[in-house]
Amino acid sequence: MALTIQSAQNIFSNTQVPSPIPATIALFDQLSVDDQLAYLWYAYTEMGKTITPAAPGAARLQLAESLLTQIKKMPQEEQTQVMRDLANRADAPISRSYGFFSVNTKLAFWYELGELMKQGVVTPIPSGYQMSPGVQVVLEATKKLDPGQQITVLRNTVVNMGFDTSDLGPSSYPKAVEEPAFARTAPSISSVKIDGVTEPAVLSYIEAMNADNFDKAISLFTPEGALQPPFQKPIVGHKAIAKYMREEAQGLNMMPKQGICEDQPDGSKQLKITGVVQTPWFGVTVGMNIAWRFLINPEGKIFFVAIDMLASPEELLNLRRV
Ligand code: 45D
């Protein structure tokens, strides 16, 4: 029987625990725009007491510079309007330019805006703002998340802001810009060991990803293979996966710890591996507990891999089907 992405998505589904991240984002989505901006500012500054992202380098900031320069020159009410437009995904000039940014440029933009807010150059919260009780509810839900989950919520809100440019024709795209590379915080481990797993495709995948060798990682996939990032639809085919990895998987430090491998009658294998991933934005200070669910075809190629955020550290050991 031919492997399908749809059935691959469900492997090990009965070992999965629902993550509290989508529930938190759903609460956030219900807030009014001003409440959303206030929530984000409080959540970001609260989180900043224990963990702060690494400052983006000058090269990355440069990609956001023209927008930041415009915002700095604006009177307070206009600055607030820009942020409302971003949160509303409005079709306004700055919100539209932002919509074309890569994930990491969006994060760098907000990082710098946050610095300007701390310096008093940009206003964090609309003047005369009155907090509604809903903000407190989302803040309380956020406090219960671990740091890896908190930065995922923030990243998600940053990614979703700005005008949605995905439906615009290619003729409206600005010229693609070369993204600067992340400096690696830790030397990549050259021989990966995962308790319970010897599958060569999986070990080679982790090794390649830890060296940002995306060509090597892609070569391990079948041509119609797919990669499903947390809370997203599968990304299908070598070209699309390569583009995604170059934009979003650079500088990650992947530390798989243990896994199980189940041989299927058709010669394919299903593996679930749990471990910790660090993002170059936070380095060793934040570990994200994740699972990889691999479907390896009978020829030893990756047909499918899903990356899931785990609900809790206990889930790291939750490999068996019940
Ligand atoms: O005033 O095997 C706000 C894949 C607004 C690849 C702000 C992967 C208000 C395959 C925005 C709040 C990539 C899928 C200010 C593995 C406001 C693979 C500023 C997994 C000032 C394993 C906010 C990778 C700021 C994973 C500056 C799981 C926020 C990667 C900054 C996860 C937030 C990476 C930052 C994550 C968040 C990175 C920098 C979750 C970064 C998060």
pLDDT in tens, 264-321: 999 999 999 999 999 999 999 999 999 999 999 999 999 999 999 999 998 998 887 6
Average pLDDT of the chain to the nearest whole number? 94
List pLDDT tens digits, range 239-249. 999 999 999 99
- Compute how many other C-beta atoms are within 10 angstroms of the C-beta atom of residue 2: 7
DSSP notation for 94-115:
HHHHHHTS-HHHHHHHHHHHHH
Give the span between the Cα atoms of 129 and 190, in whole angstroms.
53
Task: Tell me which of 175 and 10 has the higher pLDDT.
Answer: 10
Residue 63 class from Cβ within 10 Å (0-12 exposed, 13-18 middle, 19+ buried)?
buried
| pLDDT value of residue 191 | 76
What does the pLDDT read at residue 125? 87
Spacing of C-alpha 10 from chain mean position: 21
For a substitution probing ligand 1, which of 42, 113, 161, 286 has the most ligand atoms within 8 Å of its CB? 113
At 121, is the pLDDT very low, low, confident or very high (cuts 50, 70, 90)?
A: very high
% of the chain surpassing 70 pLDDT: 97
Tokens of 195: 């308790």
Report the separation in Å between the CA atom of 168 and the middle of ligand 1, taken as the mean of its atom positions.
Answer: 25
Which residues lie across from 118 on neighbouring strands? Answer: none
How sure is the predictor about 322, in pLDDT bands with cuts at 50, 70 and 90? low
Crossing angle, helix 33-47 and helix 76-88, to 10 degrees? 100
Q: Which residues of 103-133 are buried (b: 16+ CB within 10 A; e: fewer)?
A: ebbbbbbbbbbbebbeeeebbbbbeeeeeee
Which residue's CA is minimally distant from atom 18 of ligand 1? 307
pLDDT at residue 187 tops 60: yes
Q: How confident is the model at residue 95 (pLDDT cuts 50, 70, 90)?
A: very high
Q: How far apart are CA 181 and CA 19, in angstroms?
A: 30
Conformational region of residue 155, where left means phi above 0, alpha means psi within -120 to 50, and beta covers everything else: alpha
**Vertex 100, ends 95 and 102: CA angle to 5°?**
115
Ligand 1 centre to CA of 4 (Å) is 30
ipTM value for the complex:
0.95
Nearest CA to ligand 1 atom 27: 111
| Tokens (6 digits) for 125 | 């919260």
pLDDT of residue 251: 94
Cα dihedral across residues 259, 270, 243, 63: positive or negative = negative
Longest dimension (CA), the chain: 67
Q: Which residues contact 28 (CB under 8 A, 6 or more apart)?
A: 36, 39, 138, 153, 157
Q: How far is CA 49 from CA 36, 46, 99, 228, in A?
A: 20, 6, 29, 33
Query: Within 6 Å (CB) of ligand 1, which residues are found?
Result: 40-41, 44, 53, 107, 110-111, 113-114, 117, 124, 151-152, 154-155, 157-158, 209, 229-230, 248-249, 252, 254, 277, 279, 281, 288, 290, 307
Looking at ligand 1, which atom is closest to the CA of residue 248? 13
CA 318 → CA 76, 103, 273, 275, 290, distances in Å? 50, 31, 10, 11, 11
SS3 300: coil
Tokens at residue 208, please?
């390649």
Closest C-alpha to 225, from 215, 214, 239:
239
- The helix (run of H) or strand (run of E) holding residue 273 is strand 269-278
Residue 173 pLDDT more than 80?
no
Alpha-carbon span 127 to 121, nearest angstrom: 14
- Quote the distance between the C-alpha of residue 255 and its chain's center: 17
How many Å separate Cα 105 from the centre of its chain? 13
pLDDT at 109 over 60: yes
Q: Whose CA is nearest to atom 5 of ligand 1?
A: 40
Tell me, what's the pLDDT at 169? 75
pTM over 0.90: yes
State mean pLDDT over 6-31: 95
Residue type, 121: V
